[in-house]
Amino acid sequence: MALNIVYAFLLSLLGFPAGIIAAIIAKEELKAGKRYFKILSFVFLVGILVSLVYALMYNDYVLLLSFVFLLGIPIGSLVAIRFPNILKLV
């Protein structure tokens, strides 16, 4: 059981590279969407905090790890905006 949670956590961390890939695909949308990426990051962070309470109460981590994955997407895009050299590496 614990090993499955570790695998799920590692899988949820793939949201960050997914955000960088989304930034590569839609380079022209990054500047216009910066405000929305910040709003989404805040919403997903609140979702992580709420689902953390749920996970600790009911020992169910699926919702928490889903929010971790979803948070990685706008964070990855914001990192691509802040460090545009990342886009040149790929």
Residue in 52, 49, 43 with CA at minimum distance from that of residue 71: 43
Which residue range(s) make up the domain with 24? Answer: 2-89
CB 66 within 8 A of CB 43: no
Q: What is the pLDDT of residue 86?
A: 74
Q: How many domains does the structure of the chain reveal?
A: 1
Distance CA 44, CA 36 (A): 12
Q: What is the pLDDT of residues 58-75, one digit of tens each?
A: 998 999 999 999 999 999
Q: What is the pLDDT of residue 3?
A: 82
Q: What is the pLDDT of residue 90?
A: 61
